[in-house]
Structure 1
Amino acid sequence: MQPNRRTARAIPVAAALTSLVLAGAAATTASAAPERNTDQSRTAGASGLSAKTSYAKLAGKSGKKDLVKLDLLAFNDFHGNLEPPSSSSGRVNNTNAGGAAYLGRLLADERAKSRAAGAVPITVSAGDIVGASPLLSAAFHDEPTIKVMNALGLQVASVGNHEFDEGWRELRRLQHGGCLDDGTDGANGQNSCPGDQDFAGAKFRYLAANVGWTDPSAHKSKTLFPATKIMKVKGEKVGFIGMTLEGTPDIVTAAGVQGLTFSDEVETANALVPQLKKKGVKSIVVLLHEGALPTDATAYNSCSGVSGDGLAIAQDLSPAIDVVVSGHTHQPYNCVVQDPSGQPRLFTSAYSFGRMVTKLHLLIDPKTHDIVRPAAFAENLIAMNGESVSPLAKVQSIIDTYKALVSAIADKVIGHIADGSTITKAQEADGESPLGDLIADGQVADPTTIEAGASGSTADTPVIALMNPGGIRVDLVENEAGDVTYGGAFAVQPFNNFMVSMDLTGAQIKAILNQQWNGANESGRKILQVSGLTYTWDASDAALPDADALVPGTVLVDADADPATPMVPIEDGTTYRVVANNFLAGGGDGFAGFKDATNTYFGGLDVDSLRMYLEAHDPVATPVTDRITKQD
């Protein structure tokens, strides 16, 4: 019986990597993919001194055929952050970090060090290169980020869940190139190939080993992108397997992954091992867009109390797999796990937003053609920025070009804040936030969600809006001139989701509200932001499995979409017009109840709902958070 990976497993951390006998350790592959190891006592230790010492001893030996040195330079979850991120997202502890040109400088310097030491550097990524990107990239369909990745020398990457934000067809365009016909000079909020820019696509190779087709007969290839890539390092073959998390359909827009299947990560990779072996590949690296959570993210070169799905995968993969480079959780760690045969395996992550690079030092034995595991070690390096660091010129040039092109879009003033300079996204104890209320108010008032030609009666007009809190990325703030700009609004909602109006009964709405603490959200509540609706929930009831935590009689609705009339109790059998973004409408974030909706109609972009509301209510007042009440 296989363990349930979806239940996070906390693994105790070894004080240091156990001393390992080098004799025979280079050949650690198994003849067949093993069943998953259910022994949860295996430890995850930091990539420590003993491995580094072993590397130095072996690398210094000379013989008829010297060991081949391979250095992997890895990063993950870049998310289109071409410029240094702001606030805490632009630091590693107290060190300013990030920005593509500074990431480029670190990569260039480390490649030079590798070559000077006789090693071959290969640059890889574990997914989410694009998606949820700042406006500088997103305004141009992330074409600037792909161009920057080419300039950074990225060679191979796994897809991540955010690669599907604009759909798999758009992701294929990013790989292969070509321009979209989507308006002139950003008239529609996005502008492919602006000015005299062209777009030739990615020079690096996306891998998608576990992303297949619901109808394989309609496609020439088994997977969306190749499952593997083989590269030669001084005559030795190194195989890369790239995967996203199996749960990708649960956290992206349904339309973006329609027609695709997402398979179990361990089963997928293990099935590919024999295929790679037939091609003479014994050194195997997995690029995995699934990760883990350390108890202390400040200790970025350690493996402190790490737990989660990515760790379970890294432990369960075939012993033939030598290294797991991971991502998705936006956390840094540098671990050594035990594979099912008890051998050490590197399991790493390099934070997010281009703030860090993991450098993995590997030795390949030319006799076995395999990586010498006990001599493999890694180090997480900060991509520092500032006056003391010289940005990589060819990357900075790309950024400067698009900064000039985006200004007309980003700098447009769309409103002001009446009572201060910030409306915060911070959720109060009951789960409600001022910015969440404001966004929901904009969505329920969005005229694009009323079907063209509709009568405009109450039946056609949304009376309730529901907004997922994870879709609110930053506070809404005025700039130094005291203006709210389109760029500022876009930073709040960078996903380019469409608004969807739909019919739901009162009973279905209450079922959706109960999914805030049940099912997929039982271990971590997701409190939806609301407009046209008020209710009280009982926290003690919400702690119970399959709980109906809504306090009876407290769920009230603005049934006629008129704020001047009183709220009335919601009725189970009555149908209400509800609006939400297409991520929620597709059942995202564990809210499967939206899939029961009828009479759905797609409107405009979510960021435009906010823009129109700010323009119509200039200056906008910060909402009073009185819609959701928690009862302890």
Structure 2
Amino acid sequence: MRRLPFFIALLATLAGCAAMAPRPADTVAVKVLAINDFHGNLRPPAGGFRMRDPQDPEKSIDIAAGGAEHLASAVRELRARNPNHVFVAAGDLVGASPLLSALFDDEPTVESLGLMGLAISAVGNHEFDRGAAELLRLQRGGCHPDKGCKGPTPFAGARFQYLAASTIDTRTGQPILPAYVVKRFEGIPVAFIGLTLKTTPQIVMPAGVAGLEFRDEAATVNALVPELRRQGIEAIVVLIHEGGFPASGHGDCPGLSGPIVPIVRQLDPAVDLVISGHTHRAYVCRIDGRLVTSADRYGTLLGEIDLLLDRASGDVREANARNVVVRTDLFAKDEAQTRLIEAYERLSAPLARRVVGRLAAPLARDEGPAGESPLGQLVADAQLAATADAGAQLALMNPGGLRAALTGDAQGTVRYEDLFAAQPFSNALVTITLTGAQLLQVLEQQWAGQARPRLLQVSRGLSYAWDAARPVGQRIVPGSLQLDGHTIAPEQRLRVTVNAYLASGGDNFKALAENGSDAHTGMMDIEALEQYFRRAGTVSPTTDGRIQRLN
């Protein structure tokens, strides 16, 4: 608690905002509260929120933060400061969720967010993990068509409204969900447009986006502006599931980069505020004078945005924001959220608490200089072992499919819920045949067409070197690609295991979908990981450097 004044000062610096001047009588003050990338984290996520240490700016510290119980209290306390308020989100509320939410198809998260007063959310790419029909079920309610009702009460659907302005049903030519919602504050209308990133088909299973078109973000918003103005609406807020990367990683602005920057610069000047997400970063920036915010991930931060609306014009006269850390020691647990979570935990406990093995030491998901992580190596090894009967000789794992470090408890005990937190997508394993030349093409796609490099995690026995100084498409050092110490020949046929997401060309690894042959579909990835632990008893991190980086 001694550091609290420093935290407050630091957050004000990160947000770059000054306290708003006393409100003029000809304006209406509106408070917008915002989250993004909640990903079903009903309980506080491991690690909390990492921020710059106020005692030593060269270091970072982790603050226990997040979780639905504490987030609900933070929302209640902040909105009590202004009767004109709205709670919104910028997508990925569900998907890649911990077991407590995923086991019930994310119904607990939808219920939790509705209970705490969420009003509007953009759709994110993870809202399409299980397809558009499942997204619409979460919106409208009803039992799962295959699994039935599994929760403590019938699922009534979202109390909040999902928006999908740029996601078009190709059969009808219309958005699959409303493009915008209009809220009125003391008679002044404010439009909230919601949409997701146009590259969603590149990062979601093809079945999840079948029959859908994802249109350009800025063009979609700009086309709606005349329609809104014909309704007399001048105040426009965009909720977009796309984001940026602060220069230092601590939310500093200027210096924001990434896809959100050109999108905002292309937006019609009528757009007053952009609330973003997707990159799991925290920032409050101004791009060409326009306020752009993002509140990290997992409910660890809550964006507090204050708008002044001009009574005469109906437009936004002033906008300021800050990100509030949802500290578990400062925001009490909300009792209604506790009851909801405990009801689902009682149902999930037999599976979630099942012991699967032990860890000799924690497995981090942080990548080293060459792109490898201890967790990634373990998962690739587990998938190789699980598909030996299909002739697998090597396995590749996408780093985006690894969502949390694997630590176990104080004694190293690992439970099923720990495995699921680390690898929550429940993808089937697919073993395919590639030639050596085709495998090389896959590995070169780690840098080609990617917003940021995506270094595939590789199984034991596969090794290669890459050179950052070489051009994209030629970064693998010639002759370095080896299997069990032998150089892989271009014509050599290999059996390669990947998850179904990668096999379908996910994360822009199109060579896997285009070239893979003789496919054999095996067990689910989470089952492979559990089987690996059960056979090993105690798992130790590997220390072999399978990937070498030059330059």
TM-score (norm 1): 0.78
Q: Where does structure 2 lack aligned partners over 5 or more consecutive residues?
A: 1-13, 54-60
SS of corresponding position for 1:404: helix
The Cα shift of 1:383 comes to: 1.7
Which residue of structure 1 aligns with residue 11 of structure 2?
none
Contact 2:365 2:373 in 1 (8 A): yes
SS of corresponding position for 2:202: helix
Matches within 5 A, 1:367-406: 367-372=312-317, 375-386=318-329, 388-406=330-348
Contact 2:168 2:214 in 1 (8 A): yes
Q: For 2:464, which of 536, 544, 558 is the aligned residue?
A: 536
Deviations for 1:171-214, whole angstroms, at most 9, x for unmatched residues? 1111111222656xxxxxxxx6435332111111101111113x
Bigger mean CA offset, 222-231 vs 174-183:
174-183
Q: Relative to 1, partners in 2 of residues 1:284 and 1:631: Cα closer, same or farther, differing over 3 Å?
A: closer
Partner AA of 1:555 in structure 2:
L
Which residue of structure 2 aligns with residue 133 of structure 1?
97
SS of corresponding position for 1:422: coil
| Pairing 1:229–2:186 present | no
Distance 2:414 2:146 in 1: 25
Contact 1:333 1:349 in 2 (8 A): yes
SS of corresponding position for 1:153: coil
Which residue of structure 2 aligns with residue 592 of structure 1?
510
Q: For 2:352, which of 406, 410, 416 is the aligned residue?
A: 410
Q: For 1:314, which of 240, 243, 264 is the aligned residue?
A: 264
| Pairing 1:74–2:38 present | no
| Pairing 1:527–2:455 present | yes
Q: Relative to 1, partners in 2 of residues 1:385 and 1:304: Cα closer, same or farther, differing over 3 Å?
A: farther
Distance 1:337 1:514 in 2: 34
The Cα shift of 1:268 comes to: 0.6
| Pairing 1:356–2:286 present | no
Partner AA of 1:528 in structure 2:
L
Contact 2:244 2:261 in 1 (8 A): yes
The Cα shift of 1:548 comes to: 4.7
Which residue of structure 1 aligns with residue 362 of structure 2?
422
Partner AA of 1:446 in structure 2:
A
SS of corresponding position for 2:175: coil
| Pairing 1:436–2:376 present | yes
Matches within 5 A, 1:2-401: 48-49=17-18, 52-53=20-21, 56=22, 59-61=23-25, 66-89=26-49, 94=61, 95-115=63-83, 120-180=84-144, 193-194=149-150, 196-213=152-169, 216=170, 218-219=171-172, 222-298=174-250, 300=251, 303-338=253-288, 344-372=289-317, 375-386=318-329, 388-401=330-343
Contact 2:48 2:65 in 1 (8 A): no
SS of corresponding position for 1:52: coil
Q: For 1:467, which of 383, 397, 400 is the aligned residue?
A: 397
Distance 1:406 1:87 in 2: 23
Q: Relative to 1, partners in 2 of residues 1:109 and 1:432: Cα closer, same or farther, differing over 3 Å?
A: closer
Query: How large is the Cα RMSD of the aligned pairs?
Result: 2.5
Distance 1:429 1:360 in 2: 38
**Identical aligned residues as a percent:** 39
The Cα shift of 1:397 comes to: 1.4
Contact 2:377 2:460 in 1 (8 A): no
Q: For 1:506, which of 407, 411, 436 is the aligned residue?
A: 436
TM-score (norm 2): 0.89
Deviations for 1:501-525, whole angstroms, at most 9, x for unmatched residues? 22222211111122223x124x743
Max Rg structure: 1
The Cα shift of 1:477 comes to: 2.6
Distance 1:307 1:194 in 2: 43
Q: Where does structure 1 lack aligned partners over 5 or more consecutive residues?
A: 1-44, 184-191, 339-343, 451-455, 559-566
Deviations for 1:19-72, whole angstroms, at most 9, x for unmatched residues? xxxxxxxxxxxxxxxxxxxxxxxxxx96544x823xx2xx332xxxx4333221
The Cα shift of 1:532 comes to: 6.0
Partner AA of 2:192 in structure 1:
F
The Cα shift of 1:90 comes to: 7.1
Deviations for 1:521-561, whole angstroms, at most 9, x for unmatched residues? 4x7433222226523324255x3232152331x43336xxx
Q: Relative to 1, partners in 2 of residues 1:92 and 1:272: Cα closer, same or farther, differing over 3 Å?
A: farther
Contact 1:158 1:243 in 2 (8 A): yes
Distance 1:607 1:92 in 2: 35
Deviations for 1:93-122, whole angstroms, at most 9, x for unmatched residues? 65432111111111111221112xxxx101
Distance 2:327 2:287 in 1: 29
Contact 2:47 2:64 in 1 (8 A): no
Contact 2:74 2:331 in 1 (8 A): no
Distance 1:195 1:293 in 2: 38
Flag the structure with higher strand content. 2
Distance 2:522 2:167 in 1: 29
Distance 1:206 1:195 in 2: 22
Which residue of structure 1 aligns with residue 6 of structure 2?
none
Partner AA of 1:537 in structure 2:
A
SS of corresponding position for 2:271: coil
Partner AA of 2:378 in structure 1:
L
Q: Relative to 1, partners in 2 of residues 1:277 and 1:428: Cα closer, same or farther, differing over 3 Å?
A: closer
SS of corresponding position for 1:71: strand
Q: Relative to 1, partners in 2 of residues 1:434 and 1:330: Cα closer, same or farther, differing over 3 Å?
A: closer
Number of matched pairs: 529
Partner AA of 1:287 in structure 2:
L
